[in-house]
Structure 1
Amino acid sequence: MAEYRLEEKDSFIVIGLGTDLKSDYTDFAGLNKEKADFWQAVSEDGRLETLKSMATNDYIFAVNEAVNHKMMHYAGVMADKTSSIPDDARVIQFPKGEYVVVEGEGKTAEELNNHVTAIAFGQVLPEAEHVAYVGAPNATVEMGRRNGMVFGEMWIPVVRK
C-alpha cells in the first residue's frame, strides 16, 4: 500500500474560486484539461492573488467538492474570516476529524495534484480497511518549493469503518 498517515484536524475554511467541471468523472484527460485551463485563468487575471491577500498561511488549495449534483473544482486559500470575500468566491467548510494525508511532489502544482490524487484515490482509499471517504470536500495543498520541485499533500476527510 502507498504511504499515508491519518491526521486529526480541526475544522477550517477555504475561500475558493470555483469552476463546474463538465467532463465525466472517469474522463481524467478532460478533467485535467478543465482544471489546468481554470488555474491558468485565475492566475493570469489576478483573482488568485486577491485570494492570497486574505490567506492565513502560504498554502494554495486545489479543492474538489460535489455541490448540488455538480463536480466543482476550486482554487483557494485557508482563511479565518469570511467578511470580505470576493463576490465570485465561496466559503468551503472542512470538517473537524480524521484525514488521510498523502505527501508528494511534482515539477508543477498540476503534477503534484495529479500525483497525490492518483495515490490517494487509486491506492490508499481502496486498500484502507479501517477508514472510508464519505464525500466531503478534499484538497491538494501546495505547501511550497524545494530543490526545484513543488511539494504538498492531499487531505481527505474520512470516518472510521
Structure 2
Amino acid sequence: MADYILEEKDSFTVLGIGTELKSNYTDYAGINKEKADFWSSVKEDGRLDTLRGLAANDYIFAVNEAVNNKMMHYAGVMTEASLPEATRVIQFPKGEYLVVKGEAKTAEELSNTLTGIAFGQVLPEAKHIAYVGGPNTTVEMGERNGFIYGELWIPVVRK
C-alpha cells in the first residue's frame, strides 16, 4: 500500500476561485484537461496572484468539492479575508484527514499523482477508514531541488 498518514486537523477555511468540471467523473483525461486549462487561466489573468496576496501562508490549494450536484474545482488560499471575484469560501471540517505526501515536476503532476495514489490505492485498500464526501485538496507547499512538493488532504471517518 502507498505511504500515507492519518492526521487530526483543526477546521480551516480556503477562499477559492472555481470552475465547474463538465466531464464525467470517470473521464480522468477530460477532468485533468479541464483542470489544467483552468489553472492556466487563473495564472495568466492574475487571479491566482490576487488570491496569494490574501493568503495566511505560502500554500496553494487545489480543491475538489461537490456542490449542488456539480463537480467543482477551485484554486484557493487559506485566509479569513474575502474577495469579490472569489467563487466560494470552502469550509474544511475539524477531524481526521488522510494525508498523502509527494513531489513532482509540476503542480498538475503532483495533484494527479497524489489523487491517483489516494483514490486508486489507499482508500480502496484501507479497511479502517472511509471518505464520505466533503471537500478534498491538494496542497502545494513549496519547491526544492527543482520539484514541487505537497500533500493531498482528504477528510475521513473511522469504519
Normalised to the residue count of structure 1, the TM-score between the two structures is 0.97
Identity, in percent, stands at: 74
- 1:144 corresponds in structure 2 to 142
Is there any run of 5+ residues in structure 2 with no aligned partner, and where?
none
SS at match of 2:43: helix
- 1:16 corresponds in structure 2 to 16
Normalised to the residue count of structure 2, the TM-score between the two structures is 0.98
Residue 121 of structure 1 and its aligned partner are, at CA, apart by 0.3
- 1:120 corresponds in structure 2 to 118
The runs of 4+ residues in structure 1 deviating greater than 3 Å are none
Verify: 1:48 aligned to 2:43, yes or no. no
Q: CA separation in 2, counterparts of 1:124 and 1:91?
A: 28
- CA-based RMSD of the aligned residues comes to 0.8
> 1:1-161 counterparts in 2 under 5 A?
1-79=1-79, 81-82=80-81, 84-161=82-159
Q: CA separation in 2, counterparts of 1:147 and 1:11?
A: 32
Which amino acid in 2 is paired with 1:118? G
Q: CA separation in 2, counterparts of 1:16 and 1:69?
A: 18
SS at match of 2:50: helix
CA deviation map 1:54-96 (0-9, x unaligned): 11000000000000000000000011x24x3223431000000
Which amino acid in 2 is paired with 1:94? F
Which amino acid in 2 is paired with 1:130? H
SS at match of 2:37: helix
Which amino acid in 2 is paired with 1:22? K
SS at match of 1:15: strand
Is there any run of 5+ residues in structure 1 with no aligned partner, and where?
none
